[in-house]
Amino acid sequence: MQKLGDFKLPHFFNYPPYFTLQPVRDTREKQVQLWKDLILDYCRTQKIFVIGLEEDFALFSNPVIERSLSHEAREAFLSALVSEGRAEWLDKGHRKCLILWHRVQDWADIIFRFVKDNGLEDSVMTVEEIRSGIESRGTELHGIDRTILMRALRVLEQKGKLAIFKGTSADDEGVKFSM
Amino acid sequence: MRRRPGIGGLQTAAAARDQYRLVGENVAKIRTDMMKEQLATFRTQLEEFARKHKNDIRKNPAFRSQFHKMCAKVGVDPLASNKGFWAELLGIGDFYYELGVQIVEICLATRPHNGGLINLQELCILLRQRKSDREAVSEDDCLRAISKLKVLGSGFEVISVGKKKLVRSVPTELNKDHNEILELAQAQGFVTVEEVERRLSWTSGRAIDALDTLLDEGLAMIDDGHRDRKRRYWFPCVSSNSTPVADT
């Protein structure tokens, strides 16, 4: 099986026709499903949160078989993820896509457990500390995309589990947990 | 017998003919009886054999295949019914029944990818992957299980395309034009319109028609990504394991 770094690529990635958008409906559905799963899997294992359609994303081409996904194909597969709530367009031009390999609610649950596991129920942290502080190391929160983190925090804020406030420096916001 | 002249002689000749005929019939009857007896003996010996080698038959595909051939020679079909001596003794009915179920499952699972047509070799590989801890499965076993599946009705047929055997699990009928394209595709896993026209001496219309039908049936996929800009029609059912070598 071909690998991309540590990641094992599925068989279809080496079959040229899968790099062309299929015209026949049933075949297309199967194709889209395979690509959706691959994109989510890959992003989750490589901790990739944003895909730029015009950039060199590793999955968009396979040099071994000399095939690349057209812009139309890239947009089709990512749009399918957006439809399912597993991704969001960051711009109207559909050039950048935020990948939710964990849904926002899942991230909120992860933050909740993180706070409990580290005994931070009544403490205060900056947003940056949550994603890169010592406690975050070795957890899924480490290196999380800020946009996604803020969304998840706001979900918890709505449930009264924490409060977000502006920090003293212009840079960072803080979070007061009350779980 | 020396012929004697006169009426007496004629009567003797007639009597002699009758006698020969009777003997002739008797001989035929004796031969048939002998054969029946031989067959019965053979069957008994076959049953003994099956009893003694039950394990080998279950575990060894080559042995199993030979056993089937022997059975066929004496007119015994161990798979004819799930009940009765053979099925009970060998549990062979179950073996093929289970195999049939797995074949159906695999065909259904791969249908979105190959349109309902799968290479017999690939089918066997997938079957063996499922059965890794149990008995081995040969192509011969697959063919037998599939012939039992035909009873289920539509689909489930083994067709020959060129040197390969394909298992069809959908009612799609392939006509001669489609078959020829599939055979052509076996070389590299794909064809181009131009290649079909050239190698089969067809008009462009005929080639495109056939290819479009195969595309619509889900048996083919298009590939527009080659640097030579020619559209390729790939056929998952003729590629083994669908991991073809890149064509340059």
> In terms of domains, do B193 and B159 share one?
no
Among A75, A99, A123, where does a domain finish? Answer: A99
Q: Is B173 exposed, middle or buried (0-12, 13-18, 19+ CB in 10 A)?
A: exposed
User: CA dihedral defined by A91, A95, A99, A103, rounded to 10 degrees?
Assistant: 30
Could you tell me the CATH number of the domain that includes residue A123? 1.10.10.10
On whether both B144 and B194 belong to a single domain, the answer is no
My answer on whether B112 and B146 are in the same domain is yes
My answer on whether A118 and A161 are in the same domain is yes
Phi and psi at B169, nearest 5°, equal -120, 15
Highest mean predicted confidence (pLDDT) among A124-138, B23-37, B45-59: A124-138
Q: Is the pLDDT of residue B248 over 50?
A: no
Does any domain span residue B126?
yes
CA distance A65 to chain B (A): 5
Greater confidence, A111 or B135? A111
The answer to whether residues A126 and A74 belong to one domain is: no
Confidence at B32, pLDDT banded by 50, 70, 90: confident
Strand partners, A52: A96
> What percentage of chain B's residues is helix, strand, coil (to nearest 5)?
60, 10, 30
Of B151, B168, B185, the last residue of a domain is B168
Q: Same structural domain for residues A39 and A61?
A: yes
Given pLDDT bands bounded at 50, 70 and 90, which one contains residue A89?
Answer: very high
A15 with A95, same domain: the answer is: yes
Whether A132 and A68 share a structural domain: no
> Over the stretch B153-178, which tens digit does the pLDDT of each residue have?
556 888 888 888 999 888 777 888 99
Cα B182 to Cα B234: distance, rounded to the nearest angstrom: 10
Residue B147 lies in a domain: yes
Indicate whether A126 and A38 sit together in one domain: no
Q: Do B248 and A66 touch (CB under 8 A)?
A: yes
Q: How do residues A99-140 score in pLDDT, each as one tens digit? A: 999 999 999 999 999 999 999 989 999 999 999 999 899 899
**Residue among B211, B213, B221, B230 with most chain A CBs within 10 A, to mutate:** B221
* pLDDT greater at residue B248 or residue B87: B87
A37 touches chain B (CB under 8 A): no
Residue B125 lies in a domain: yes
Q: Are residues A28 and A93 in the same domain?
A: yes
Asked if residue A90 and residue A108 are part of one domain, the reply reads no
* CA gap B194, B69 in Å, rounded: 46
pLDDT at residue A114, rounded to an integer: 93
Query: Domain total for chain A?
Result: 2
Cβ neighbours of B239 in A, within 8 Å = 15
Q: Domain check: are B116 and B154 in the same one? A: yes
B129 with B154, same domain: the answer is yes
Q: What is the distance, to the nearest Å, from the Cα of residue B152 to the centroid of all Cα atoms in its chain? A: 16
The answer to whether residues A52 and A109 belong to one domain is no
Determine, yes or no, domain membership for B26: no
Q: List the domain range (segments joined by +) for residue A39.
A: 3-99
Report the residue of chain A nearest B228, measured CA to CA.
A66
Greatest CA separation for chain A: 58
| Residues A58, A78: Cα–Cα separation, whole Å | 15
Domain limit, last residue, from A64, A81, A99: A99
b/e A132-144 (16+ beta carbons within 10 angstroms → b): eeebbeebbbeeb
**Nearest-by-Cβ selection for B222 from A14, A20, A29:** A20
* 3-state DSSP of chain A: CCEECCEECCHHHHCHHHHCCCCCHHHHHHHHHHHHHHHHHHHHHHCCCEEECCCCCHHHEECCCCEECCHHHHHHHHHHHHHCCCEEECCCCCCEEEECCCCHHHHHHHHHHHHHHCCCCCCEEEHHHHHHCHHHCCCCCCCCCHHHHHHHHHHHHHCCCEEEEECCCCCCEEEEECC
> Which site among B222, B233, B239 would you substitute to test the A interface, given the most A Cβ atoms closer than 10 Å to its Cβ?
B222
* ipTM of this complex prediction, to 2 decimal places: 0.85
Shared-domain flag, residues A84 and A141:
no
Number of domains in chain B: 2
Q: Is residue B57 part of a domain?
A: no
Please tell me which of the candidates A15, A23, A68 has its beta carbon nearest to residue B222.
A23
Cβ–Cβ gap A67/B215 under 8 Å = no
CATH number of the structural domain spanning residue A82: 1.10.10.570
CATH number of domain containing B140: 1.10.10.10
Full domain range(s) for residue B228: 176-234
The answer on A112 and A36 residing in a single domain is no
Residue B86 pLDDT: 57
Q: Which of these three, A69, A99, A129, is where a domain ends? A: A99
> Does A75 share its domain with A115?
no
Residue with tokens 């595709």, as numbered in its chain? B185
